[in-house]
């Protein structure tokens, strides 16, 4: 095989099968390398690495109008990215402090319905502007060089010259003298850093302040009504039936967490009924009412099989036994469906005796402590 080493200091240039030169560490002592200026090390390293520079565009002339205009453009984009990031932080922290409180329910046209979209838009804008600023900086202000390089094993020489190349890159970037860009970069970095830290706030701030997840609109004396708003008397349903009911409050039939199943038990079911501990008397006559929200993952449960007294959840097939306080008897759900205490008002219509005594729906963080 013919070997051809073109690196300076080598015996290359001739097609020879003789031993190769020992390498650049043999050509230059550490002291010689330490005494060389950065530019010379950079060039030397390139030549030893077999780098062939094909084209060099040095970028705009320092201090020229073109450079000043490019610096202003890049600095403006970075500053806008910082503004968007700080806007995110202000909205995230300020909600509930000097801005309206964000509620977990969504009502159109309110601060709560704009809160999350605003955070998303500002974060997206900040990241897009960061990308745009970097592209502008690279295209307009950095020198451009086209080079090809052969790859070979590393050595002390390589480490020193590569370090010089990297330092040279930083020097060529002009960041040290382009103060507007370094300041806008620092501003943007501060905003982005804070913005990325903000999600940790969810670990500190209790989103369930006031227990909105543990309460519903059911309250003493609130009537049970159908979806069309009509109230219900005990004689309206036949044994074995199930009806979905809502609290008679404004918008009650749109409150997903208040949806309730009103079930009239058959005589044989009443005979074997075993309420959960502490829930004796929650029913009214042969009626019982349970939350419609599955305690596994929150699907609506209302597939009622009266022959087996089971309510089935269609999502993951949990089953709840109506005659035993809607305890789970099959599937992934581990908690009973909460039971609504029933009564009848002076006009003979069903009312709640109180809200549910436990949170409806799936388990969530700190649920048991509320």
**Binding residues vs ligand FES (CB under 6 A):** 294, 296-299, 313, 315-316, 318, 331-333
| Least distance (Å) between residue 360 CB and ligand FES | 13
Residue with the two structure tokens 């450079």: 67
- 166: which residues sit within 8 A by CB, 6+ positions away? none
Nearer Cβ to ligand FES (254/316): 316
Nearer Cβ to ligand FES (216/318): 318
| Least distance (Å) between residue 369 CB and ligand FES | 23
Nearer Cβ to ligand FES (119/313): 313
Nearer Cβ to ligand FES (80/333): 333
Cα separation of 285 and 264, whole Å?
A: 9
| Least distance (Å) between residue 194 CB and ligand FES | 38
Phi, psi of 262 (to 5 degrees): -100, 120
| Least distance (Å) between residue 307 CB and ligand FES | 21
| Least distance (Å) between residue 316 CB and ligand FES | 3
237: its two tokens: 């349903």
* Angle subtended by helix axes 111-140 and 179-197, to nearest 10: 150
Nearer Cβ to ligand FES (262/333): 333
- 366: which residues sit within 8 A by CB, 6+ positions away? 206, 208
- 291: which residues sit within 8 A by CB, 6+ positions away? 259, 260, 261, 337, 338, 339, 340, 356, 360, 361
């Amino acid at each position: 095989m013919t070997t051809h080493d073109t690196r300076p200091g080598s015996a290359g240039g001739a097609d020879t099968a003789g031993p190769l030169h020992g390498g650049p560490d043999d050509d230059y002592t550490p002291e010689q390398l330490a005494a060389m200026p950065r530019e010379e090390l950079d060039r030397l390293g390139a030549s030893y690495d077999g780098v062939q520079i094909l084209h060099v565009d040095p970028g705009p002339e320092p201090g020229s109008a073109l450079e000043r205009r490019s610096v202003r453009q890049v600095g403006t984009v970075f500053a806008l990215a910082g503004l968007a990031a700080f806007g995110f932080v202000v909205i995230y922290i300020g909600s509930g402090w000097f801005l309206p409180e964000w509620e977990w329910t969504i009502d159109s046209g309110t601060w709560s319905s704009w809160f999350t979209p605003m955070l998303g838009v500002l974060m997206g804008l900040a990241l897009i502007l960061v990308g745009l600023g970097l592209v502008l900086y690279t295209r307009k202000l950095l020198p451009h060089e086209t080079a090809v390089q052969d790859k070979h094993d590393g050595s002390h020489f390589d480490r020193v010259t590569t370090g010089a190349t990297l330092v040279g890159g930083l020097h060529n970037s002009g960041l040290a003298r382009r103060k507007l860009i370094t300041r806008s970069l620092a501003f943007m970095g501060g905003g982005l850093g804070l913005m990325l830290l903000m999600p940790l706030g969810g670990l500190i701030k209790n989103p369930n302040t006031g227990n909105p997840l543990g309460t519903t609109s059911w309250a003493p004396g609130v009537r049970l009504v159908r979806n069309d708003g009509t109230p219900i008397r005990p004689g309206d349903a036949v044994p074995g039936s199930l009806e979905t009911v809502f609290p008679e409050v404004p918008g009650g039939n749109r409150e997903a967490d208040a949806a309730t199943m009103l079930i009239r038990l058959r005589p044989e079911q009443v005979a074997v009924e075993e309420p959960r501990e502490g829930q004796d008397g929650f029913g009214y006559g042969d009626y019982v009412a349970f939350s419609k929200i599955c305690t596994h993952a929150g699907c609506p449960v209302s597939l009622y099989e009266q022959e087996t007294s089971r309510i089935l959840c269609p999502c993951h097939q949990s089953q709840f036994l109506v005659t035993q306080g809607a305890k789970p008897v099959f599937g992934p759900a581990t908690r009973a469906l909460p039971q609504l205490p029933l009564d009848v008002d002076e006009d003979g219509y069903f009312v709640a005796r109180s809200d549910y005594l436990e949170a409806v729906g799936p388990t969530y963080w700190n649920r048991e402590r509320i």
